[in-house]
């Protein structure tokens, strides 16, 4: 239920901004000049793959173009001190409720880990620690 609630709030907010707040002729490439979505804590981070989904699937942008804009459209602040308080979703649940978002998260994770591997060659432990997809004990998205 919590994932559904978060997705509903995020999807409605982003859709409303893109479809109703911006002028009809607004070039979404300029979106970071107009707005930065502030993500306070881990709960609303599903907004990142949601904006990617809109840009790639609906607006028909290529991945790199959409990712360049998306990265500039979000700021993140975490007020949670305890790791167990961070939002974590089982991969199975995310795949069942939001399969396209899970695909996008996997792609973001793959690209991110490729950058980490390039910067820290051979540091397998760092890759595991920094992965968005946690493999143990239960496979989840954090």
- Which structure tokens are listed for 57? 């699937």
Same domain assignment for residues 2 and 35: yes
Same domain assignment for residues 62 and 78: yes
Residue 64: is its pLDDT beyond 80? yes
Global model pTM greater than 0.75 = yes
Instruction: Give the mean pLDDT of 21-45.
Output: 91
pLDDT (tens digit per residue) in 86-98: 778 899 999 999 9
Same domain assignment for residues 133 and 81: no
Same domain assignment for residues 134 and 103: yes
CB 55 within 8 A of CB 28: yes
Same domain assignment for residues 58 and 47: yes
Last-in-domain residue among 54, 70, 85: 85
Same domain assignment for residues 80 and 111: no
Domain count, the chain: 2
- 37 is in which domain, residue-wise? 1-85
Last-in-domain residue among 85, 109, 130: 85
Last-in-domain residue among 85, 102, 134: 85
Q: What is the dihedral of CA 140, 42, 122, 68, to 10 degrees?
A: 110
Residues 6+ apart with CB under 8 A from 72: 31, 32, 36
Same domain assignment for residues 18 and 74: yes
Q: Regarding predicted confidence, which is higher, 43 or 50?
A: 50
Same domain assignment for residues 80 and 113: no
Same domain assignment for residues 42 and 58: yes
Please report the pLDDT score of residue 99 as a whole number: 97
Please report the pLDDT score of residue 126 as a whole number: 94
Mean pLDDT, all residues of the chain = 91
Percent of the chain with pLDDT over 90: 75
Same domain assignment for residues 40 and 3: yes
């Amino acid at each position: 239920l919590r994932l559904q609630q978060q997705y509903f709030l995020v999807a409605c907010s982003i859709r409303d901004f893109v479809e109703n707040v911006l002028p009809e002729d607004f070039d979404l490439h300029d979106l970071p000049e107009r707005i930065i979505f502030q993500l306070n804590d881990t709960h609303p981070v599903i907004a990142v793959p949601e904006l990617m989904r809109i840009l790639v699937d609906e607006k028909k942008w290529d991945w790199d173009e959409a990712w360049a804009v998306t990265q500039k459209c979000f700021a993140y602040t975490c007020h949670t001190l305890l790791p167990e308080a961070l939002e974590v979703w089982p991969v199975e649940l995310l795949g069942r409720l939001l399969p396209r978002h899970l695909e996008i998260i996997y792609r973001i994770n793959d690209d991110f880990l490729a950058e980490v591997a390039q910067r820290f060659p051979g540091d397998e432990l760092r890759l595991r620690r920094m992965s968005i997809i946690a493999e143990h004990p239960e496979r989840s998205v954090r």
